[in-house]
A and B are shown apart, each in its own frame.
Chain A
Amino acid sequence: MPAAQSRDLRLDFFRGLALIFIFVDHIPENFLSYFTIQAVQFYDAAEVFIFISGYTAALVYGRTLALQGPPYAVARILSRAWQLYIAHIFLFVIFTAEVSYTVTTFNNPMYYDEMRVGDFLDEPHIAIGKALLLQFQPTFFDILPLYIILLAIFPIVLLGLRLQPLIVLIPSFLLYTVVQFADLSVPAYPDGHVWYFNPLAWQFLFVAGAALGLERVRKDAWLRFSRDALPFAAILVAAGFLIKLSWTIHGVWEPFPGFFLKELWPINKNNLSPVRLVTFFAMLAVVAALVRNDAAFLRLSSARPLILCGQQSLEIFCLGILLSALGHFVLSEYNTDIALQIFVNLAGILVMCLTAKMIDWYKTMGRADRSRPSCLNR
């Protein structure tokens, strides 16, 4: 397949890495989270994931759009969003089972009055409806609704970008800017909650990724800009690295100073604070300049599992969320030994990589199966 040969493995590699980081970071109090990107940068794997998802969505569906026309491209995008929606409902059912279990085994009066996590079980007719409407986003399960919404609006984004990137980028950026100043958020259930990942802000990262992805298809020289900005970007990345690393060390060992902690903290994630966004783009420019898409390490067999994870991102993403919930459950049910933590992390990563390999095998077989009778058509 020529498409596979020209595939930019950097995208798959870094998205695979982001998926592993999301899994690790989603297990609370996880020792290994000191070794993910959020320990040394203001942004975390969520930005990497959303950006690359926008970029590849534009690559893949942009090609569909060019070859098979808008109706089919739109249908493909929406069918992807539908798959995600099903995954969200599945995760919600698992969460409900977890809460029901906890509520029925709760016997401690000291917490009973405070930790009424099972309140929504008292009104299932409302809670389930809200979950179906993406309004109910339990902790730990809040990034999927963002992804679903981003894909649902993607047909318009893609068609607009094809016409003229600026007619999409400018409104998208303006909306992001408004959110930073006005306290705009999307309400959720129960009353008083909002979407954890504010889609009005995070859409900009996805749209920016899509614009760059599409420009690439058109062989436009957008990225030359990033090369000119490289020295500035490198300084930002280095500064972000030093500051955030000092915070991480300060968190573990208090006598070590957290640089600019009083000035910068807290850095808002819900609305994708400009500090996060700017340092992410800086890192992007640096990585795009330093890591060529024919970089040797991408061909190494040790990079293969990550690349496969990145290629099967939907399945591996959902699996990762599920596994981190499971890992968290195991760790809090038994103990939080560093040894058990490392075991849980490695087991989860192994399951993710093996699943990616299996899905890859399954899809390859499916393609081979389809291509045999149809070789006359070539």
Chain B
Amino acid sequence: MRSLAVALAIALMPPLAGALRGSPACEVPEELMQFDHKLPHLAEKLQTHEPVKIVAIGGASTTGLAAGSSDFAYPHRLQEILARWYPFSPITVVNRGVPRQTAQQMLDRFPTDVIPEDPVLVIWETGTTDAVRGVEVDDFAATLQSGIDELKAHGIDIILVDMQFSHSTMTIIDFERYLNALHRAGDVNDLDVFQRFELMRFWSEQNVFNFDGVAKEERASLAANVYDCIARKLAEAIRVALR
């Protein structure tokens, strides 16, 4: 569903070069960067210059293992960027990634890994393992809903992050249903969803990041570049939401 809108937006876009600004490697069409919902709790902390704690919970791509170290993972990069943009509040982004977990397993970690940190914003990256394992898509949706309810009950702002795009597994993993469920969960709860899947698909189609024919040793640094772009786009998304 959602992907058709994106496909149309990209197809109907004015010549690409014109739409691309700034650091060329990370740029994506504006249509992929629309964020309509506010992050009121985060905005308040930043306004009053109070310390800000953000928890990033997710899977392997949150841990950043593919880049060799969590210093290259998107949460760490995000912290560096936000610290530069909002110098008056000390900002910490806590990495709570555990590889190969379903949304339910992440939800089970909320009481130990997320809530005690007393975050003002939670970035929840999920769906990949659910799609790979073929978890019932309605169960996945219900899990998202309970997680969102729990975070909202604690007065925590939420950003959902969808799956990574992988060209080679597209034919055997049915991502679409899980993507739709995750986006709909964002929709019905008035949350912003960071469209990592479409962003990475765009980069893949534009050949921005190509892992084919790259020596094994260089793959980690290429992965670090991708995570860096993800962090930058996520930071921009947060800035848009704070506006």
Contact = CB atoms under 8 A, between A and B. Distances in A.
B61 to A, nearest CB: 7
Nearest to B211: A108
A139 B60 contact: no
A29 B4 contact: yes
Interface in B1-27: 1-5, 7, 11
Interface string A90-118: 00000100110010011111111111110
A95 B173 CA distance: 11
Contacts of B92: none
A172 B8 CA distance: 46
Q: How large is the interface on B (under 10, 10 to 19, 20 to 34, 35 or more residues)?
A: 35 or more
A116 B167 contact: no
B180 to A, nearest CB: 7
A196 interface: yes
Interface stretch (A174-182, A265-273, A311-319): A265-273
Given A251-B2, A328-B171, A113 B211 contact: no
A269 B7 CA distance: 27
Interface string B30-55: 00000000000000000000000000
B59 A98 contact: no
A115 B171 contact: no
Given A111-B166, A114-B129, A196 B136 contact: yes
A102 B169 CA distance: 7
A171 interface: no
A336 interface: yes
A72 interface: no
What bracket does the count of chain A residues touching chain B fall in? Answer: 35 or more
B220 interface: yes
A109 B141 contact: no
B184 interface: yes
A193 interface: yes
A269 B138 contact: yes
Interface in B111-135: 128-129, 132-135
A17 B63 CA distance: 47
B170 interface: yes
B176 A29 contact: yes
B170 A332 contact: yes
B168 A251 contact: no
B60 A193 contact: no
A113 B164 contact: no
B173 A113 contact: no
B132 A140 contact: no
Contacts of A105: 168
A106 B171 contact: no
A193 B59 CA distance: 20
Most buried by B among A99, A111, A190: A111
Contact of A28 (B142, B164, B175, B184): B175
A14 interface: no
A114 B128 CA distance: 7
B60 A108 contact: no
A99 B65 CA distance: 24
A140 B173 CA distance: 9
Nearest to A183: B139
Given A110-B164, A266-B141, A248 B1 contact: yes
Nearest to A261: B188
A329 interface: yes
B173 A117 contact: yes
Contact of B168 (A108, A109, A194, A328): A108
Interface in A1-48: 28-29, 31, 34
Interface in B152-197: 164, 166-176, 180-181, 184, 187-188
B239 interface: no
B168 A112 contact: no
Interface pairs A-B: 7 shortest CB-CB: A251-B1, A332-B170, A109-B66, A113-B60, A28-B176, A266-B141, A139-B174
12 contacts: A102-B169, A106-B168, A113-B100, A114-B100, A115-B128, A116-B132, A139-B174, A251-B5, A252-B5, A261-B188, A266-B137, A338-B7
